[in-house]
Amino acid sequence: MSKLWGGRFNKKSDWLADQFTFSISYDHRLAKYDVIGSIAHARMLSKQGIIPKGDSAKIVAGLKKILLQIETDKFKFDPKAEDIHTDIQNRLKFFIGKPADKLHTARSRNDQVVLDMKLYCRDEIAKLVAAITYLQKEILEFANKNKDVIIPAYTHLQAAQVVLLSHHMLAYIEMLERDKTRLFDCANRTDFMPLGSCALSGTSLKTDRVYLASLLGFSQVAANSMDVVSDRDFIVELIGDCAMITTHLSRVAEDLILWATKEFDLVDIDSSFCTGSSIMPHKKNPDVLELVRGSSAKVTGLLAQIHVLLKGLPLTYNRDLQLDKPALFDSVDTAKNVLLVLSKIFASMEVKKGNAAQRVLDESFFTVDVMDYLVKKGVSNRDAHDILGKMVRECLDQGRPLSSLSLGELKQYSLLFGADVKKLFNPQMSVKIKSSLGSTNPNLVAQQLNQWSKKLNA
Which of the stretches 34-42, 69-77, 232-240, 414-422 binds a copy of itself when contact is defined by CB under 8 A? 232-240
Amino acid in position 261: T
Task: Evaluate whether 292 touches 250 at the Cβ level (below 8 Å).
Answer: yes
| Contact flag: residue 455 with a copy of itself (CB under 8 A) | no
CA distance 369 to 392: 13
Interactions with a copy of itself, residue window 348-387 (CB under 8 A):
348, 362, 364, 367-369, 371-372, 375-376, 380-383, 385-386
Measured from the CB atom, the residue of 29 and 284 that comes closer to a copy of itself is 284
Task: Evaluate whether 65 touches 95 at the Cβ level (below 8 Å).
Answer: yes
Instruction: Tell me how many helices (H) and strands (E) the chain has.
Output: 18, 6
CA atoms lying within 13 Å on the CB side of residue 139: 30
Site string for a copy of itself, 6-45 (x = CB under 8 A): xxxxxxxxx-xx--xx------------------------
SS3 assignment, position 403: helix
Minimal distance, residue 270 CB to a copy of itself, in Å: 8
Residue 332 region by backbone torsions, left for phi larger than 0, else alpha for psi between -120 and 50, else beta:
alpha
Interface residue with a copy of itself among 36, 131, 135, 153 (CB under 8 A) is 153
CA distance 170 to 173: 5
The residues assigned a catalytic role are 156, 277
Measured from the CB atom, the residue of 68 and 79 that comes closer to a copy of itself is 79
192-193 and 220-221 beta bridge pairing: parallel
| Contact flag: residue 226 with a copy of itself (CB under 8 A) | yes
Minimal distance, residue 91 CB to a copy of itself, in Å: 15
Interface residue with a copy of itself among 236, 267, 405, 449 (CB under 8 A) is 236
User: For residue 205, with 0-12 CB atoms within 10 Å meaning exposed, 13-18 middle and 19 or more buried, which class applies?
Assistant: middle
Interactions with a copy of itself, residue window 171-190 (CB under 8 A):
171, 174-175, 178, 181-182, 185, 189
Four-point Cα dihedral 269, 271, 274, 280, nearest 10: 120
Task: Evaluate whether 216 touches 37 at the Cβ level (below 8 Å).
Answer: yes
Interactions with a copy of itself, residue window 59-78 (CB under 8 A):
none
With b for 16 or more beta-carbon neighbours within 10 A and e for fewer, the 145-168 pattern comes to: ebeebbbbbeeeeebebbbbbbbb
Interface residue with a copy of itself among 77, 134, 154, 413 (CB under 8 A) is 154
Interface residue with a copy of itself among 28, 41, 122, 209 (CB under 8 A) is 209
Minimal distance, residue 156 CB to a copy of itself, in Å: 4
Interactions with a copy of itself, residue window 278-307 (CB under 8 A):
278-288, 290-291, 293-298, 300-307
Total residues contacting a copy of itself (rule CB under 8 A)? 187
| Contact flag: residue 449 with a copy of itself (CB under 8 A) | no
Interface residue with a copy of itself among 43, 167, 325, 336 (CB under 8 A) is 167
Read off φ and ψ for residue 230, nearest 5 degrees.
-100, -25
Measured from the CB atom, the residue of 157 and 415 that comes closer to a copy of itself is 157
Looking at 248-384, which runs of residues are DSSP E strands?
267-268, 350-351
| Contact flag: residue 117 with a copy of itself (CB under 8 A) | no
